[in-house]
């Protein structure tokens, strides 16, 4: 399940929360699927037993009593989880991501003097990063699966997303919304530095990470 873009291999709190949500929902879905298919096969193969349950009870139990106690808590959990993912917490490190067919340029308002980087985003490890996303042409989507969800880059608007990388290292990013023939190659790298090294990385050259294209 690992891979440079795998949401199942989370490397920060936002992505980890969603991964945990996925595994929980998968477990619940597996139980529900087995239950429904089991009842279906039971009714099909052992009708003399299944027929003892009146139709009205089947419909009320299966149609209302079964789904509602699952859906209502799920909705609450999702709301709380979504709010927590969107909460900034202490002072985030702010960056901008500007999409254009077919590359990303990243700016660093919190790091005066830092040059814009192309297709490589430098962030501090262990600190929440707030990305403000915009687009110059069509709709793109900013997505670093191991660090968090995606947010669309929409011309005429600014959207934002919070990411955190627990540890220094490289993380894959990819445009998530079809944006033309270059979409498949509209990838970028996120490099998380120890907070102390970030200024140096931004001040120094970004050449080693310059994309081949």
Partner 1 sequence: MTKAPSGTPETVESLLPGADRGPAPARPAAPGDGVTDPLALDAGLRKIWATGPGWQRFAAVNHSVVGVRFMITSLVFFTIGGILAMLIRVQLATPDSGFLEPGLYAQVFTMHGTVMMFLFAIPLFEGLAMYLLPKMLGARDMVFPRLSAYGYWCYLFGGTLLIVAMLAGAAPDGGWFMYTPLSSKPYSPGIGADVWLLGVTFVEISAISAAVEIMVTILILRAPGMSLDKMPVFAWYMLTVAAMMLVGFPPLILGSILLEAERAFGLPFFDPLRGGDPLLWQHLFWLFGHPEVYIIFLPAAGAISTLVPVFAGRPLAGYRAVVAALVAMAFLSFGLWVHHMYTTGLPHLSLALFSAASTLVAVPTAVQIFAWIATLAQRRRKPDPEARPKASVPMLHVFGFFFVFVMGGLTGVMLAIVPFDWQAHDTHFVVAHLHYVLIGGFLFPMLAAGYHWLPLISGRAHDGPAARLGFWLVFAGFNGTFFLMHITGLMGMPRRVHTYGAESGWHWLNLISSISSFVMAIGFAVIVIDLLLTLRFGRKAEPDPWQAATLEWAVPTLPPPPYNFAAIPRIDIRADRLEPRKMAPVMARGEGFLGVARNGWMETTGVTVARGEPDQIVMLPQQTFLPLWTAMATGVVFLSLLFKIYPLAIVAALVVVALFLRWPVGTHADADRGDLPAGEGVMLPLSSEAPVPPAVLALRVVAVADGALLASLLFGGLFLAISAPGWPPALWPELPMAPGVVAALALVVGWIAARMAVRGDVLRGAPMLGVALAANLATLAAMGWMIAALPPLQDHAAQAVLAAVMVWLGLHAFIGAVLAFNALRRLRTGHVSARRRIDIDLLRLWQAGLLPAGLVVLGFPVALKALALAALP
Cβ(213)–Cβ(101) under 8 Å? no
CA distance 207 to 117: 10
- Of 196, 199, 176, the C-alpha closest to 188 is 176
CB of 208 to partner 1, least distance (A): 18
Calculate the CA 123 to chain-centre distance: 17
Cβ closer to partner 1: 122 or 150? Answer: 150
CB of 61 to partner 1, least distance (A): 7
CB of 73 to partner 1, least distance (A): 11
CA distance 120 to 106: 7
Q: What's the residue count for the chain?
A: 213
Q: Which helix (H) or strand (E) holds 143?
A: strand 140-143
Cβ closer to partner 1: 51 or 203? Answer: 51
CB of 114 to partner 1, least distance (A): 25
CB of 88 to partner 1, least distance (A): 13
Cβ closer to partner 1: 120 or 179? Answer: 179
Cβ closer to partner 1: 143 or 201? Answer: 143
Cβ(172)–Cβ(4) under 8 Å? yes
Cβ closer to partner 1: 92 or 176? Answer: 176
Cβ(175)–Cβ(186) under 8 Å? yes
Separation in Å, CA 90 to CA 87, 129, 198: 9, 10, 18
């Amino acid at each position: 399940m690992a891979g440079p873009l795998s949401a199942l291999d989370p490397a920060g709190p936002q992505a980890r929360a969603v991964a945990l949500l996925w595994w929980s929902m998968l477990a619940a879905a597996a139980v529900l699927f087995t239950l429904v298919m089991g009842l279906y096969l039971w009714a099909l193969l052992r009708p003399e037993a299944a027929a003892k349950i009146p139709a009205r009870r089947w419909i009320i139990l299966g149609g209302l009593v079964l789904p509602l106690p699952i859906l209502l808590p799920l909705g609450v959990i999702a709301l709380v989880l979504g709010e927590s993912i969107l909460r900034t917490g202490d002072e985030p490190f702010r960056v901008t991501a500007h999409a254009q067919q077919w590359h990303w340029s990243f700016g660093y308002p919190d790091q005066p003097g830092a040059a814009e980087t192309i297709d490589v985003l430098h962030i501090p490890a262990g600190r929440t990063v707030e990305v403000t996303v915009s687009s110059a042409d069509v709709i793109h989507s900013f997505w670093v699966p191991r660090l968090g969800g995606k947010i669309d880059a929409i011309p005429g608007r600014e959207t934002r997303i919070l990411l955190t990388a627990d540890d220094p290292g490289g993380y894959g990013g990819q445009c998530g919304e079809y944006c033309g023939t270059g979409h498949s190659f509209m990838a970028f790298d996120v490099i998380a530095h120890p907070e102390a090294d970030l200024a140096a990385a931004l001040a120094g050259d970004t050449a080693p990470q310059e994309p081949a294209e």
